[in-house]
Every structure is written in C-alpha cells, then in structure tokens.
Amino acid sequence: MKRLLLVCLFSILAVGAKAGDNVPKGEWILLVGGPSLKEWEQYKAQPHDHWWANFIRAARLRTEQLREGLGPDAPITWLVYKQGYVDRMTQEKQDLISLIGTIRDKFNIKLVWIKNGDDVINYLNNGQDRKKLKVAGWEYFGHSNRACFMFDYSSNVDSASKSFLHESMLKQIHGNIFAKNAYVQSWGCHTGEEMSAWFYHATGIKMIGALGKTQYMMEELPILTSEGGKWVTMPEKMPGN
C-alpha cells in the first residue's frame, strides 16, 4: 500500500506538471552518490551494491518521470559523486563515466561532477541565478544514515565515508533558493529519523525521508524494507529530545 501511495504521488506530479497547477517551477536537482567497492564488501553477510548502477538507475527512472511530466526542456541537473564511479571502473572493467554521460545526452540533463558536500551546497546556492531560477526539486539517491548523505560509503574506507553531506552542514543552504511548494526527498536509508528535521529547521522546506532502510530496485524507485518503515517529513522524536 505504501508503494502504491508513492506511485500515485508521482503520477499526480506528472499530470499536474502538464496542467500547470501547483507543481513547483524551476530547476530539479538529483544528487547521486557512488557505489561501494568489492574489496570492502565481499566478505559481509549482506554486501552493498552488487551492481555499480544502483543509484544511477534510480536517478534515471526518476528523470524519466520528470521528463514525462515536465516536458523535454525543463531544467534537470544531476550532481554525481564522480570519484566513486572512477574507483569502481577497475572492478567493472568498463568506462562508467562515459556510460553516465550517455544518460545525460539521452535525457537532456545537465551533469555536474561533485567531490563533497561543499560542492553540493555551492551548486544549490550559486549554480544558477537563484533569483531567476529557483530549486523546484531536490532528491538524493545514495547511501545514508540518520544524519548524513554518504557519497563514498565503503569506497575509500570500509563501512565509512570521507565524502558526505552531514546534517550540521544544512544550515549553509540558503532558504530563499527554493521555489514555492519545492519537492525534496531523500531516497536513502534512515534520513527521515533525524536529517529531515534538520533540513526543515535549516531551510523551512520539508524533506521526505525514510524511517528504516530502503532498497534500490531495477524497474522502480527505491522501496522501504524495514518492518514498520514509512516515508515521513519529520521524525516522530525530534533530535535532542
């Protein structure tokens, strides 16, 4: 039922975009983290990222939805943690950077390579003239925990991250960059448990996040997998309480 409700939400978004109603106007930004490496994950009971394109595939599916609803020329930007895919190329024995480039070309999107959370914040605040082009939507596809988007989880260091966007950094985002009714969602694990509240307090914008874990799929957007998991905009218990 939860998956059905989420599908309905995006169907309404697509129809609404064509009807020109309350769908936010501006740039849609998809932030995409990198995959883990086999050298760190191969001996775990539940290794991460059997497929290098877990997050890329999800972002592509979302881009298809946005293109259907918003049209061929609406501004859509991907911010992608490049080093994760450079490092994974040795394992895959194929040019992953070029493969990501084919998605850019096919869907007429702007592709921006990032190194860390500072790059993400800088693009949000200054990547466009935000007086003229607001952020209509911002969505994250990648590894995360309750307090952090982890772009290189289990890539540089086993089960850890050196490249990230932590909740304490969210206050650097300018609240006036967002369009009216801006849509923000993290598709990663656990961010509805704490990070959503920090995002709201920093920007005044609600961010949908997951209570519990999510799983990335081949032909649909990530799903909730924890017992009792759900999508929320604010945690049931506020951080610090």
Domain parsing of the chain, residue ranges: 27-39+47-232
- Which of 206, 192, 205 lies closest to 237, judged by CA? 192
Q: Specify the pTM.
A: 0.90
Percent of the chain past pLDDT 70, that is, above it, reads: 89
Which CATH number is associated with domain 27-39+47-232? 3.40.50
43-52, 76-85, 212-221 — which is least confidently predicted? Answer: 43-52
Position 221 scores a pLDDT of 98
Q: Are the beta carbons of 115 and 82 closer than 8 angstroms?
A: yes
| Average pLDDT rounded to a whole number, residues 86-105 | 97
Residue-wise pLDDT for 29-58, tens only, equals: 999 999 999 999 887 878 898 999 999 999
Place of tokens 């967002």: 178
Q: Are the beta carbons of 30 and 78 closer than 8 angstroms?
A: yes
- Say yes or no to pLDDT of 152 above 90: yes
1: tokens are 């039922």
b/e map 8-29, b = 16+ CB within 10 Å: eebeebbeebeeeeebbbbbbb
